């Protein structure tokens, strides 16, 4: 879908992107992560052809990015904004027409979207008459009205209350199911794990990590397990195949321990060791969350 | 191209629909009409005496009695009553004045007028005129000169200036040319500012509302800038057309009603009818459009460089300076010497030409100067648009950075 090759972008005095390459496959939900100032917005602006890179290329479905592709991309910037004094209906139609949709088609689709999101009565309202959350909803509709193949969302959930955030999340998933590729930039890690198939992590103008979420988390496995058992508190003699990282008292006579396997040991050996001594409620591998990976990676570079 | 049209359409429609725009269309001609009406009333009032007045003449010299001529609403009566009684009468009657002529009427302060209220200037003028006529006639007689002979050798000549042109001699009215010339300068000056500032405000609005990023992910910044400039320019043209049409209609109506009572305004209208409005209108539209394109591009660049309207000042100053300078010269000096080297130079330099050339146009400047000025205007606005576009494309995406001239230079040289 999108192939970003060796992008360099410099502004006077600082480098925003130094040789970033990414592959975003069609039909994916791709998360672009990174702390503030890592270069996410610069990269997104290049994909949107708002600015051009100093060197490097972007390919859209195999052809070099050009003006024609603008109509295939929908963009929701982090800093939201619409014409305050313009009626919503007219404004949505205007924005869709700028993306190449004709007026009749825009009206037709807008009616569908307004009905779906409960906005039918807003048509004649001016943006300044809406609440922040309502404005965000309107802007989301403006982003996807022309049914783009690639939807770029910069912090899509900021500014939404939990109910509306859920609605928007469902709409994003539905659009993805219909075939749209979604690139979203965020620092809310929960939504990354929940939504994204793949991610790339940018820090200090460089890509420091990318791949499928599952693979990345797997590669960060460190033989850590969570165990919950019931009965008497166990006292360990030192012959167990693991070391204890954390010990907690759970509720209703249960105890929780976090362990790290000794080299070469397996989860089965842990069970073999524990089963004669107590009744095990739970044994689960602890895979680091994206949040932990994110913080670890960013701190590593710093 | 389609997208520029879309942008033009939006910019135009949102402005034309505004109540303030519609109100302005009617208010300005109405104001002009009202002003004309008031002027005509003032003109009328100062020429006629509105209610009947009587002047009682107490003539101690006896040369004047019975020689005053009554005019409309002003009656002269010779009175032999005692001065005190007459004063008493005058103090009770607003429309009664008392003219006292002392025995030696040629001496200083020997003629006085008494009245309850301050007498009207026209009344004073009339009385003065008549007294002087009578006195001169009397003085001539004393020196044995026949007043009728004197009358016949007096002359009354007014200068009629006629210009020699290829099409034939042309009666010109210098005063009318000056009026046209100055009003064109004022109109161009004001409209360049008004519509230029509208462009700037539009750019700032897009920047502060942050919609700019959405728009320029759909169109190139240059398209957006051009669309906005053309859209606002069309709003200006619409406004002018509406004003011109409404003014013509109202002048026609006003001319009709005033035709029955000839006054100053009707006279002015007649004078205006001798001027060829076609060419003036053409040049006005050309200089408005080209000047507007030249300046609005710069205004757009300023708008793109700032985060709010309050920050625009440092950039506005150098832009407005040449215009303000020419405007001040135009209304004070240029129209008096429309062919002076200063006027010629100012009318050729694109930044000052819209105002300066409009001052000169009614005085028929040489064709080659007009042609040179017009071509330089076109080159000028192409140049400013190019410079502005380069600053604009970077500026609209810059937030929180205090822009300086150095910064603007840097933006200009940025690659895409």
Per-residue pLDDT tens digits for B192-218: 999 999 999 999 999 988 899 999 999
Band of residue B262 on the pLDDT scale cut at 50, 70, 90: very low
Enumerate helices (H) and strands (E) in chain A, giving the number of each: 9, 14
- Indicate if B59 and B148 belong to the same structural domain: yes
- Indicate if B136 and B203 belong to the same structural domain: no
Number of domains chain B is built from: 2
Report helix angle B353-360 to B367-395, nearest 10. Answer: 160
What one-character-per-residue DSSP string does B25-39 give?
A: HHHHHHHHHHHHHHH
Structure-token pair, residue B159: 């200068």
- Indicate if B295 and B409 belong to the same structural domain: yes
Q: What is the mean pLDDT of residues B102-121?
A: 80
The chain-wide mean pLDDT, for chain B, equals 83
Closest Cβ opposite residue B10 in set A48, A82, A94: A94
For residue B61, give every residue at least 6 positions away whose Cβ sits within 8 Å of its Cβ, in sequence order, or none: B101, B102, B103, B104, B105
Q: What is the mean pLDDT of residues B313-319?
A: 88
Strand partners, A246: A258
- Indicate if B245 and B337 belong to the same structural domain: yes
- Indicate if B372 and B341 belong to the same structural domain: yes
Flag whether B159 is in a domain: no
Flag whether B366 is in a domain: yes
Angle at B358 between CA B353 and CA B363, to 5 degrees: 120
pLDDT given for residue B409 in this prediction? 85
CA dist., res. B318 & res. B301, Å (int): 13
- Indicate if B252 and B213 belong to the same structural domain: yes
Angle at B385 between CA B374 and CA B348, to 5 degrees: 25
Closest Cα in chain B, distance from residue A93 (Å): 11
What one-character-per-residue DSSP string does B349-360 give?
A: STTTHHHHHHHH
CA dist., res. B297 & res. B273, Å (int): 37
A236 in contact with B at a CB cutoff of 8 Å? no
Contact A77 B210 (CB under 8 A): yes
CA dist., res. A115 & res. B17, Å (int): 28
Closest Cα in chain B, distance from residue A85 (Å): 9
Distance of CA A294 to the CA centre of its chain: 12
CA dist., res. B45 & res. A229, Å (int): 111
- Indicate if B90 and B22 belong to the same structural domain: no
Pairing of strands A224-230, A181-186: unpaired
- Indicate if B384 and B408 belong to the same structural domain: yes
User: For residue B165, is pLDDT > 70?
Assistant: no
| Contacts B218 to A, Cβ<8 Å | 70, 95, 98-99
Flag whether B246 is in a domain: yes
Burial class of residue B367 in the structure, from the number of CB atoms within 10 Å of its CB (0-12 exposed, 13-18 middle, 19+ buried): exposed
Low-confidence stretches of chain A (pLDDT beneath 70): 302
Cα of first residue to Cα of last residue in chain B, in angstroms, is 20
pLDDT given for residue B268 in this prediction? 54
- Residues in B whose CB is inside 8 Å of some CB of A read 3, 6-7, 10, 14, 205-206, 209-219, 397, 410, 415-416
Contact call for residues B290 and B358 (beta carbons, < 8 A):
no
Band of residue B275 on the pLDDT scale cut at 50, 70, 90: low
- Indicate if B282 and B333 belong to the same structural domain: yes
CA B30, B32, B35, B37 dihedral sign is: negative
Structure-token pair, residue B54: 């009587």
Q: What is the mean pLDDT of residues B95-114?
A: 82
A85 in contact with B at a CB cutoff of 8 Å? yes
pLDDT given for residue A145 in this prediction? 94
The chain-wide mean pLDDT, for chain A, equals 89
Total residues found in chain B within this entry: 416
CA dist., res. A259 & res. A242, Å (int): 6
Structure-token pair, residue B414: 């940025």
CATH number, domain with residue B66: 3.40.190.10
Contact call for residues A7 and A58 (beta carbons, < 8 A):
yes
Which residue of chain B is at minimal alpha-carbon distance from A13? B410
Contact call for residues B24 and B243 (beta carbons, < 8 A):
no
User: For residue B37, is pLDDT > 90?
Assistant: no
CA-to-CA dists, residue A33 to A36, A37, A188, B162, angstroms: 9, 11, 9, 82
B295: helix, strand or coil:
helix
Q: Which of B94, B120, B153 is the last residue of a domain?
A: B153
Q: What is the mean pLDDT of residues B96-105?
A: 83
Spell A176-185 as b/e; 16+ CB within 10 A means b: beeebbbbbb
- Indicate if B309 and B346 belong to the same structural domain: yes
Q: What is the CA radius of gyration of chain A?
A: 24
Model pLDDT for residues A16-50, shown as the tens digit of each residue: 899 999 999 999 999 999 888 888 989 999 999 98
- Indicate if B297 and B187 belong to the same structural domain: yes
pTM listed for this prediction: 0.78
pLDDT given for residue B110 in this prediction? 81
- Indicate if B292 and B376 belong to the same structural domain: yes
User: For residue B230, is pLDDT > 90?
Assistant: yes
Closest Cβ opposite residue A81 in set B7, B214, B216: B214
> Does ipTM surpass 0.85 in this model?
no
Pairing of strands A2-11, A55-60: antiparallel
Least confident of A127-136, A229-238, B36-45, B124-133: B36-45
Flag whether B158 is in a domain: no
User: For residue B108, is pLDDT > 80?
Assistant: no
Residue owning tokens 């506005």: B316
User: For residue B168, is pLDDT > 60?
Assistant: no
User: For residue B1, is pLDDT > 70?
Assistant: no
pLDDT given for residue A151 in this prediction? 95
- State which CATH number among 3.40.50.300, 3.40.50.200, 3.30.565.10, 3.40.50.720 fits the domain covering A2-218: 3.40.50.300
User: For residue B406, is pLDDT > 90?
Assistant: no
pLDDT given for residue B381 in this prediction? 94
pLDDT given for residue A249 in this prediction? 78
Could you tell me which residue, B373 or B179, shows the higher pLDDT? B373
User: For residue B264, is pLDDT > 60?
Assistant: no
Domain boundaries, chain A: 2-218, 222-286
User: For residue B345, is pLDDT > 80?
Assistant: yes
Q: Shortest CA distance to A245 belongs to which of A223, A274, A278, A216?
A: A223
Strand partners, A184: A31, A153
> What is the domain extent for residue B219?
7-42+171-413
Q: Shortest CA distance to A206 belongs to which of A58, A41, A39?
A: A39
A82 in contact with B at a CB cutoff of 8 Å? yes
Model pLDDT for residues B53-99, shown as the tens digit of each residue: 888 888 888 778 778 888 877 888 888 888 888 888 888 887 888 88
User: For residue B254, is pLDDT > 50?
Assistant: yes
Band of residue B166 on the pLDDT scale cut at 50, 70, 90: low
Least confident of A1-5, A119-123, B244-248, B320-324: B244-248
């Amino acid at each position: 879908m999108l192939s970003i090759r060796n992008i360099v972008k410099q502004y006077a005095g600082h480098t925003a992107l130094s040789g970033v390459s990414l592959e975003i496959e069609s039909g994916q939900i791709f998360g672009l992560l990174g702390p503030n100032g890592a270069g996410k917005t610069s990269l997104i602006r290049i994909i949107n052809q708002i600015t051009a890179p100093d060197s490097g290329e972007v390919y859209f479905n195999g052809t070099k990015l050009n003006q024609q592709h603008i109509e295939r991309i929908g963009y929701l910037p982090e800093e939201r904004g619409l014409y305050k004094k313009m009626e919503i209906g007219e404004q949505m139609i205007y924005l869709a027409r700028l993306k190449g949709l004709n007026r009749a088609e825009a009206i037709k689709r807008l009616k569908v979207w307004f009905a779906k999101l409960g906005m039918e009565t807003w048509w004649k309202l001016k943006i300044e008459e809406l609440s922040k959350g309502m404005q965000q909803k309107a802007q989301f509709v403006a982003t996807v009205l022309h049914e783009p193949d690639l939807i770029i969302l910069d912090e899509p959930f900021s500014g939404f209350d939990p109910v509306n955030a859920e609605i928007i999340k469902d709409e994003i998933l539905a659009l993805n199911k219909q075939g749209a590729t979604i690139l979203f930039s965020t620092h809310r890690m929960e939504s990354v794990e929940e939504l994204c198939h793949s991610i790339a992590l940018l820090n200090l103008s460089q890509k420091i990590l990318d791949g499928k979420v599952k693979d990345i988390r797997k590669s960060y496995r460190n033989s850590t397990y969570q165990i919950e058992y019931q009965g008497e508190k166990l006292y360990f003699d030192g012959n167990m195949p693991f070391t204890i990282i954390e010990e907690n008292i759970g509720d209703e006579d249960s105890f929780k321990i976090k362990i790290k396997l000794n080299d070469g040991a397996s989860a089965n050996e842990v069970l073999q060791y524990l089963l004669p001594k107590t009744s095990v409620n739970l044994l689960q591998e602890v895979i680091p969350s994206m949040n932990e990976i994110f913080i670890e990676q960013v701190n590593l570079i710093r | 191209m389609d997208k520029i049209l879309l942008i033009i359409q939006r910019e135009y429609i949102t402005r034309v629909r505004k109540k303030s725009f519609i109100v302005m269309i009617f208010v300005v001609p109405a104001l002009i009409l009202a002003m004309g009406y008031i002027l005509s009333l003032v003109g009328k009032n100062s020429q006629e005496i509105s209610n009947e007045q009587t002047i009682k003449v107490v003539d101690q010299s006896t040369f004047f009695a019975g020689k005053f001529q009554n005019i409309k609403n002003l009656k002269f009566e010779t009175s032999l009553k005692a001065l005190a009684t007459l004063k008493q009468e005058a103090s009770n009657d607003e429309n009664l004045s008392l003219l006292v002529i002392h025995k030696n009427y040629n001496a200083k302060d020997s003629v006085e007028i008494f009245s309850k209220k301050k007498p009207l200037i026209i009344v004073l003028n009339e009385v003065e005129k008549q007294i002087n006529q009578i006195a001169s006639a009397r003085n001539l007689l004393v020196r044995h000169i026949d007043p009728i002979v004197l009358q016949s050798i007096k002359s009354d000549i007014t200068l009629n200036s006629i210009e020699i042109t290829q099409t034939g001699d042309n009666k010109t009215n210098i005063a009318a040319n000056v009026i046209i010339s100055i009003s064109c300068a004022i109109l161009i000056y004001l409209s360049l500012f008004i519509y230029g500032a509208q462009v700037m405000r539009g750019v700032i609005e897009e920047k502060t509302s942050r919609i700019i990023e959405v728009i320029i992910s759909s169109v190139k910044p240059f398209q957006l800038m051009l669309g906005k400039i053309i859209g606002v320019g069309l709003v200006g043209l619409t406004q002018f057309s509406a004003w011109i049409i409404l003014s013509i209609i109202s002048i026609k109506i006003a001319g009709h009603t005033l035709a029955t009572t000839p006054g100053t305004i009707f006279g002015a209208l007649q004078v205006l009818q001798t001027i060829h409005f076609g060419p003036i209108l053409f040049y006005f539209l050309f200089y408005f459009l080209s000047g507007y394109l030249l300046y609005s591009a710069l205004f757009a660049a300023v708008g793109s460089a700032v985060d709010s309207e309050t920050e625009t000042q440092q950039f506005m100053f150098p832009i407005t300076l040449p215009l303000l300078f020419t405007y001040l010269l135009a209304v004070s000096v240029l129209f008096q010497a429309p062919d002076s080297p200063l006027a010629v130079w100012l009318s050729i330099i694109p930044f000052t030409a819209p105002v300066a050339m409009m001052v000169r146009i009614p005085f028929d400047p040489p064709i080659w100067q007009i042609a040179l000025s017009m071509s330089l205007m076109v080159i000028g606005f192409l140049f400013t648009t190019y410079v502005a576009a380069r600053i604009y494309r970077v500026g609209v995406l810059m937030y929180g950075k205090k822009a300086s001239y150095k910064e603007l230079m840097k933006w200009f040289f940025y690659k895409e």
